[in-house]
Each structure stands twice: as C-alpha cells, then as structure tokens.
Structure 1
C-alpha cells in the first residue's frame, strides 16, 4: 500500500492543496500521477473503473502498479492527456474519510 500520511508532502509539494484544487478533479480516489505529455507530476482523482479496478475494491489496499493509466486534464498540455499513477495517496484518502 502506498502511503503519504507520514510525508505530508512530496518533493516540496503540498499534496493536500493539490487535491483541493479544481485541477485534481472531483470524483475518484487521490493518486499522484505523471502526465505522459509533459512529465508534470500532480495529484489527480481517478475513479476505480478508470484505473482498471473493480468498483468494490478497497482503494487503501492498492499499489500504483495495480493501476492503469487514465485520461485527465493537463493544463500545461492544454487538454486531456494520459496520466500514469505513481502512488495511491492513501493518507489523503483516509483523511477525507475521517479515519
């Protein structure tokens, strides 16, 4: 299981602020992902089905390697591009759930 609970941030980035941004999306689990177009890494939300997971799976048990690429907006590229998950942000997910 990937976890971000102890780090708080990654490479000087504020993951919670990125997740709160409209650019992250509104539906899905938080993942840290890299845009295949420009190489930018950002927190995005992805529905379980988008990352090729059963909708009933416990997302806290997922590893980034379990997840497939998904399409999401990249503002730097100027449109929808493919993003590769590099971490499932379980700490942010648990925080949202109040755990």
Structure 2
C-alpha cells in the first residue's frame, strides 16, 4: 500500500490530516461497525488492547481489538474494527518528526 493512497483511490494522508481521524495514537484503516464506512482513524495501543510499549510497526490489524471513535456517518461514538495498521503513514510522520 502506498503512503498516500490505497487501492480504492482514497487519499489516506488527507484522511489522517482530517480532524475526524483523531489527534493521538497510531494511524489505522478501520471499519465502522454501525455504517460500514472505512476511514483512517487514530487509536492508542491501549485502546486496541496492545502493550503501551509495543512496536506499532510490528502490529497486524488482526492483533488489535475494536476501539471506540466518532463516526460522522452514524453521528455517534461507535466501535471501529481495525483493518490495516498504516505503517507507511506512521513512518512518514516519524520521518517528519511529528
């Protein structure tokens, strides 16, 4: 997967930059259990039932549990299932010192 787009042509960097993605945590592509939308969200390691010092670049989405986040499609806080840990975006942020 490219750092900036996925196979469906979504601009993942733009989704991550959107305030709706959240301010803290690692970037993951996740599916809302309410409406089925897939969006880039940020979630902490703890929210996804991972050790706080785990290496996010070694995580697989299947290792992570669902986490609560706002869904603007559902207009509520709902559960999101991680589909992919967006390592490219995470490394890009690290390279920029964010």
TM-score (norm 1): 0.92
The alpha-carbon deviation at position 12 of structure 1 amounts to 1.0
What residue number does 2:5 align with?
9
Gaps of 5+ in 2: none
Specify the alignment match of 2:17 in structure 1. 20
Moved over 6 A (4+): none
Q: What TM-score do the two structures reach when normalised by structure 2?
A: 0.93
In the alignment, the residues of structure 2 paired with residue 55 and residue 89 of structure 1 have an alpha-carbon distance, to the nearest angstrom, of: 17
Give SS of 1:76's match: coil
- C-alpha distance in structure 2 between counterparts of 1:68 and 1:62, whole Å: 12
1:43-97 residue CA offsets vs partner (Å, 9 max, x unmatched): 0000000000000000000000000000000001011000000000000000000
- For residue 96 of structure 1, what is the aligned residue in structure 2? 93
Alignment size in residue pairs? 95
